[in-house]
Amino acid sequence: MAHAYTPGLKVTERAVVRKTRRLPLLGEVLVEKGRTVSPDVIVARTNIPGNPQTVNVANILGVEPEDIGDFMKKHQGEPVKQGEVLAEYRSFFGLLRHWVPSPVDGTVEMVSTITGQVTLREPPIPVQVDAYLDGVVEDVLPREGVIIRTEGAFIQGIFGVGAETQGVIRVAVKGPGDVLDENCLKSEDKGKIVVGGSLVTLGAIKQAEQVGAAGLVAGGIIDTDLIGYLGHDIGVAITGHEDIPLTIIITEGFGKMRMANRTFELFQNLQGLKASINGATQIRAGVMRPEIIVSGYQARSKVVEQDLSEGLVPGTPLRIIREPYFGALAEVVDLPPELQVIDTEAHVRILRAKLLESGKIVTVPRANVEIIEA
């Protein structure tokens, strides 16, 4: 049973990818099953209720709460413009006038004669969901959204920040061990996804933002550089909602980490093609990986939908995700069935793997590895 929980990381030149594009609230689906869509096609839309605003009318007019109905100029369900009179009180034969302006555009939702407050609801916020991918609508979820199916290259990263976007891939370095710095960025990189090797520097990120690049991909990043760019520490919640103009995806881990050869070679093959990328990452329950998808990429291999439930077997490519071999790429050599005692004195299942860079055979707990699907 131990192998059934081994996490996996996909790096494959051809796979079937399905994406559920779902509205946050029930709404309207705009496409039918079987339709071919591009990333910018709006597949569903809805309206999110606007924010409520409370106005203490009784307090402002200086009247009793139960009396505010006598002074209201706008009643429940009626629209109101910002600055328009909500309620008015005149005294001394109309010589003195007290009035309450609306703080926002909206609708009068409730008039309370208990608290003397009036609740205004701001206009609804329209929400649209696009297809994100070049693909086909495989299924329609009534009033919720659709499932988009595509075939092509699929690469998952370890960590990312930034939202969904699209761009043409450009490999800006010669090899997987090269650093992506500010000198690698060009003015022609506007709207492109620029790929580096072992590290993306803070200077490269700032230069990419300046030239208008859509995204950056590299093997590693210095955590303090990322924090310095974002302006805040990295929490454990889902990333992908940062207020930044580009998406950053890291394929190997934090620090200077050589990009896996197979990943770098695949990026070289994908150069000049349009990709959809998303930096959203979640490392706790419901694992979510940042991703690069190139729809329609024609590879020599067959379309394969791999099943990680088979677990580890000799020859399985993997990444070690704990020290002392953190980030190292390896291949399973042997899977001893018996439990073994490790340095912490815990009894665990282990595996023996060959490090791809040095050829050294190492022994590590099975929980300390991550399968790389290819």
Structure tokens at 99: 């009035």
Q: Which amino acid, 233?
A: D
Beta bridge partners of 221: 254
Binning pLDDT at 50, 70 and 90, where does residue 38 land?
very high
For residue 349, is pLDDT > 70?
yes
The string of pLDDT tens digits covering residues 316-345 is: 888 887 788 877 888 899 888 888 887 777
CATH 2.30.30.30 domain span(s) along the chain:
312-373
Q: Tell me the average pLDDT across 171-177.
A: 96
For residue 300, is pLDDT > 80?
no
Say whether 279 sits in a helix, a strand or coil: coil
**In sequence order, which residues have a C-beta less than 8 Å from that of residue 238 and are 6 or more positions away?**
280, 281, 282, 288
Residue whose tokens read 């990444």: 319
Say whether 229 sits in a helix, a strand or coil: helix
Q: Does domain 312-373 have CATH number 2.30.30.30?
A: yes
Measured CA to CA, the distance from residue 257 to residue 17 in angstroms comes to 28
CATH 2.40.50 domain span(s) along the chain:
52-121
Residue pair 299/186 in contact (Cβ under 8 Å)? The answer is no
CATH 3.50.30 domain span(s) along the chain:
158-289
Mean pLDDT taken over the chain: 89
pLDDT recorded at residue 95? 66
Q: Own/partner pairs for 333-336, CB < 8 Å, 24+ apart?
A: 333/361, 335/3, 335/366
pLDDT recorded at residue 91? 75
For residue 209, is pLDDT > 60?
yes
The string of pLDDT tens digits covering residues 248-273 is: 999 988 889 899 888 999 999 999 99
Comparing C-alpha atoms, which of 74, 68, 64, 66 is closest to residue 101? 74
Measured CA to CA, the distance from residue 195 to residue 200 in angstroms comes to 9
For residue 206, is pLDDT > 60?
yes
Q: Does domain 158-289 have CATH number 3.80.30?
A: no
Span 52-121: which CATH code? 2.40.50
Query: When comparing pLDDT for 151 and 9, which is higher?
Result: 151
Q: What are phi and psi of 143, to 5 degrees?
A: 65, 0
Residue whose tokens read 């815990």: 346
**In sequence order, which residues have a C-beta less than 8 Å from that of residue 250 and are 6 or more positions away?**
157, 158, 159, 160, 200, 217, 218, 219, 220, 221, 290
Measured CA to CA, the distance from residue 293 to residue 18 in angstroms comes to 11
